Structure 1
């Protein structure tokens, strides 16, 4: 687990049938990691992180060993060899390094004397970190159990590990402290606007040299998207393109690439530059220069490529970006008295969702023929003809002309102008989908089935069809999930339960490298578990805090949730007095 920190435009993740019965062992809640504010993100990379080595305590020595591999691959074996008397053989980088979420007791000494000790460690493998920065889904037995034997000559000596396991692993908690989330960006398929989709990667904090870090990210970008995401994205950079050089100066960055071995011409300069600007995490006022085979092809301010990322920016939505709505007795209410949609009350109103930017609303209404959709600006809602369903929920905006909804338990695409609809093509599930949430880029879908959360890439075609790729479980030990939303580009927030934890709200990266309970969301505080949530995906330009506003419905109460607090939403009654908001189905500006 870790807090996501972007260095700068920013300033600015198993098949369902198999996972449903995997029986993951409960490993307890993750430990809180201190959040680093956005303003200090530039200081988050450091080549002077505390060294992990053997100590006079056997349990501590083993725990340090399980974290020592965290960092740059180049000197990994050197760090591990500190724990043994002579150089050992360690697993190759191609084997990756499993991330282990240790059980609550972490390491236990099962026997000990002055000169020898045995320490047992148990936990759960949550993923495998590879040399391309990905945390990939683990296969096989996910239980982790190892017994370490240690020895020393005198009580004042540091312990050494005898015959350590060859396969290198990393303690998930230490991984979170020593790596930063740094997505690569790839253009969506079947998209004419250049929409970029983030492909989550993790980079060592120890790569403090900006140039070296940029080279690593560019090399990863040149290898293309992850296998899981590639059905929904492409790349402006053809296979075979290589890195020549990256130079950093006071004005910005110059990226030089070679197309001599590329499989097709390198000529999509705008898209390539947008990929580079977002992947490198450049500041909006920096200059980016693209050089191909020695010729300068494009030079522009990074801000020119802000539009390629559909995650809401800091200023997107204007004054309406923090608006909170909810439904009370069939009427839309808001904490802001003059909110555009406040007072809207179409007959049979069930729930609603705002278009990104807040200009239009999609509402689910109950009618004599079932549930239908209404679309429109404030005061201009109109029924979507020729579309209804017995069960209809979770409207999501794909773009201005299409919605994704959950109709009779199936993700369904609807053309808002005509009501034409088509079910999303996907592999058969053993259970019914009960909630969906579409990422801002519309190319990744989170959904809840049988109380578990999954995420899958989604692709579209020009002939009005959509297909869901391979679902993978998110929040491996979070069950009883009721609702889910995108709190960051690469993170979900979900209402669910974890063994031995009181909290019912969790933020989890879509590759499971990060999992964090949201403080304050305990039943002892809230009285009950929330039924639904709505969250505005956090801007890539902000700190790694959970997306805001984040609003939940608990029974018939509406509450606001922050990174570490929970409080009932305050609204004004007719007499101007502040009271707790009463209602359900909260929604916010996208």
Structure 2
């Protein structure tokens, strides 16, 4: 089917509103011929968050190309229900179109091509094809997935027999827009659920797990986020978490918007499904709401949950939420740890200098066993270290006078780089490490840091695990995977445990997905928040770079870390108030306080880590 590009002058069809001052700037209208070269619908440059963009309806007697362009522009507006975009459609097309089904993100705006050779072509029909390069897709669950490849979708127009106006009668489901428009229109928000295994362990408090979703930034984001939380976790995370909202819980019929009162309290009216929850479950529901809403805005200090009859089920203040569940990003570590020039494990306060470094209590700080890397448990009571040759894993209490036990695990890799990775602790107190032995690469977990190592199943893994870091929640795990072509990619997996009475659990890492698809050679990574990681790596054909990434593969808002050459390892606390720390082949151990440049900690040290 032959296709040419069609065109004309791009017609501005949006109005920009300054929310703060109420000034409306209407874009001037210019006619768009339906012949000649049509420009791509390019993404609008990033604009101030105070700006609101509203769509303009189709003008009288607009030609087909202008109708398509106007419709695409209307998709990038802040129109809550896409009412103006629907004015570009026929009645039947509007009734069948589901914009909430998905959002496809293209590198630039969609390119419009007219198809002049079609069976439906006539004076009352016109066919186009939307094309572009795919970047990502946000699905009906509001979950983000990086994508690549070519985008191509048909759009057909017909002339209304009564009005004589062109309207779209065939179009792709969902919404399509360029990357810049997506960044202006959407924001990432963590909603929170509970790690299933913490309830099973009868822990004093549950562990909260972040589940990032994208919502429209200026279309009542608070109500969108609450609805998304009530609908349950995304399919990727669902097998490893639970929600305290009873199945079927939703906002009470007729509730269309949620707004905090002048006391920063949000009242959430729920339907009859929520009424079956007891008071303890209601406290858990309130905790999920508070964690989620405070990730969106700091202006919510308390929530009140109402039942279907309007009565209060419970009220809960933000300060009490931490008694119900813990988040890794809330716990502030006592120390920063690293391996010094004597290959001992040492520690300094999070703002201290190397001159104040002291060996950790216990065998790993005595220097009897030389180390190349280490990890400290979340409670900072136990440490694990890999010997200087990479062959043996040692575990020791951080208590003065403790003896060094025999290695908990050994690798038989011939070369040092083919042996054990740096270890990592999860919130349960389990210890993770990978053996890079090419003859039999494996991922191991030691329950409570000891006992017989348990091999972890990683179905679908292509390559070997070259680095491992477990999230504070113990549910998600970050793996640097080395492929056969020696490229290294960052993958995020979901930890699942199949535990049967009297038997050792079967532990698996499932649902592997890319978190840094633009990097072809990842050299170091660390968790840096509830759903964020910091990564050092190299882009295709480029130089080494350092950036923040989200677990879903999206790029978080805000500037990347300052550039640093020769990065060998990174340590980031999940509490983002603490400085980023790295080990560089040129500068030794350096730290990056907020708003500052890299500062040298010590030239004679390596492998810095925060607890985890």
Flag the structure with larger Rg.
2
TM-score over 0.5 for the pair: yes
1:372 and 1:502, CA in 2 relative to 1: closer, same or farther beyond 3 A? closer
Unaligned runs of 5+ in 1: 1-29, 37-43, 112-117, 150-159, 572-579
Q: Quick one: which of 481, 498, 502 aligns to 2:539?
A: 498
Between the two structures, name the one with larger relative contact order (CA 8 Å, sep ≥ 6): 1
Distance 1:51 1:205, change over 3 A: same
Q: 1:221 aligns with which of 229, 236, 241?
A: 229
Q: Which residue of the other structure, out of 213, 230, 253, is the alignment partner of 2:266?
A: 253
Deviation at 1:187, TM superposition (A): 0.9
Q: Distance in 1 between matches of 2:388 and 2:450?
A: 19
Which of 364, 370, 373 aligns to 2:394? It is: 373
| Paired residue secondary structure (2:209) | strand
Cα 1:229/1:363, change in 2 over 3 Å: same
**1:321-361 CA distances to partner (integer Å, 9 max, x unpaired)?**
xx363443413465343345467535221111233354543
Contact 2:303 2:316 in 1 (8 A): yes
Instruction: Report if the CA contact (8 A) 2:227-2:251 is conserved.
Output: yes
**Whole-angstrom CA distance in 2 between matches of 1:31 and 1:393:** 45
- 1:353-392 matches, within 5 Å, as 353-356=375-378, 358-366=380-388, 370-377=391-398, 379=400, 382-383=403-404, 385=406, 387-390=408-411, 391-392=419-420
CA distance in 2, matches of 1:492, 1:435: 14
Q: What's the counterpart of residue 69 of structure 1?
A: 75
Contact preservation (8 Å) 1:341, 1:378: no
Tell me what 2:510 maps to. 469
2:181 maps to: 174
Question: Within 1, Cα distance between the matches of 2:572 and 2:183?
Answer: 24
Answer yes or no: is 1:587 the counterpart of 2:606.
no
* Cα separation, 2, equivalents of 1:182 and 1:386: 43
Hey, what does 2:301 align to over in structure 1?
286
Q: Residue 246 of structure 2 corresponds to which residue in structure 1?
A: 238
1:277 aligns with 2:290: yes
Matched residue, 2:374: 352
Question: CA 1:312–1:261 in structure 2 vs 1: closer, same or farther (change >3 Å)?
Answer: closer
Matches within 5 A, 1:181-580: 181-191=188-198, 192=203, 193-208=205-220, 213-244=221-252, 248-251=260-263, 252-260=265-273, 268-281=281-294, 283=298, 286-294=301-309, 295-306=311-322, 308-313=325-330, 316-317=332-333, 320=335, 323=336, 325-332=338-345, 335-339=353-357, 341=359, 345-356=367-378, 358-366=380-388, 370-377=391-398, 379=400, 382-383=403-404, 385=406, 387-390=408-411, 391-399=419-427, 401-408=429-436, 409-416=441-448, 418-449=450-481, 450=483, 451-462=488-499, 463-499=504-540, 501-514=542-555, 526=565, 528=566, 530-539=567-576, 548-554=579-585, 557-561=588-592, 567=598, 569-571=599-601
**Aligned-pair CA distance for 1:143:** 2.4
The Cα of 1:284 is off from its aligned counterpart by 9.0
> TM (normalized to structure 1)?
0.71
Instruction: Count residues with an aligned counterpart.
Output: 498
1:405 Cα deviation from its structure 2 partner: 1.8
TM-score by length of 2: 0.68
The alpha-carbon distance between structure 1 residues 515 and 289, as it changes in their structure 2 partners (threshold 3 A), is closer
Q: 1:143 aligns with which of 140, 144, 150?
A: 150
C-alpha separation between the residues in 1 aligned to 2:270 and 2:409?
A: 52
CA RMSD of aligned residues (A): 4.4
CA contact (8 A) 2:456 2:507 kept: yes
- Could you list the runs of 5+ residues in structure 2 that have no partner in the other structure? 1-42, 60-64, 115-127, 157-165, 412-418
